[in-house]
Amino acid sequence: MNDTTSKPKKLSHIVPLRPDRFGQFQHTVQQFNAYVPAGTSRAEIEDGRYWAHVAGQVSVFSEIRVICEDGSYYAKLLIVFKNGTDIKLHCLAYTELDAVEELDEEGEFFVKSCGAVLGWCIVRRDDGHRVKEKMPTQAAALRELSDYLKALGR
């Protein structure tokens, strides 16, 4: 009889999972957030050398949630090996969020990431005044800038 058509064998003995191997997620898994600078590539975040300065804080099977500060992508990484500052990662998820356009180097206004609190901002070039703040992504800020310039008739 062909092995692929045979019925699965019943397990004669199952060893139950020990209680010390079971627990609430927040008590058993280390989770970290990393807000990486705009322009950081997927290849860079998947390279263990990128994480050398924070490797002491993680352990095997720690998870790192990565968000690019310009809102261009989200990633979830799993530490699969650690020896000192040498770590190996496995990418569990990688999602590109908004297409990031090149910034206009000329013109009266530009968009800029102003950190986690202020988010993306429209900034007046001559005096640095933030015209609008707290936009979640670079793409959203560029859309707002386009609308703002249209409203100004420029």
Q: Per DSSP, which regions of the chain are E strands?
A: 31-36, 63-68, 73-83, 86-96, 109-113, 120-124, 130-135
pLDDT score of 42 more than 90: yes
Q: Rounded mean pLDDT of 125-141?
A: 88
The answer to whether 97 and 81 are in contact (CB under 8 A) is no
Q: Rounded mean pLDDT of 87-98?
A: 92
At the second CATH level, the architecture of 23-96 is: Beta Barrel (2.40)
**Residue 3 — pLDDT band, cuts 50, 70, 90?**
low
The confidence score (pLDDT) of residue 152 equals 86
Q: What is the pTM of this model?
A: 0.60
Length of the chain: 154
Q: Which residue has the higher pLDDT, 139 or 84?
A: 84
The answer to whether 130 and 109 are in contact (CB under 8 A) is no
Instruction: Output Rg (C-alpha) for the chain, integer angstroms.
Output: 24
Cβ–Cβ contacts within 10 Å for residue 46, how many?
17
Q: Rounded mean pLDDT of 112-133?
A: 86
The residue among 31, 64, 33 whose CA lies nearest residue 47 is: 64
By percentage, how much of the chain surpasses pLDDT 90?
44
H-type helices in 4-113, by residue range?
25-28, 42-45
**Residue 85 — pLDDT band, cuts 50, 70, 90?**
very high
pLDDT score of 40 more than 80: yes
pLDDT score of 27 more than 60: yes
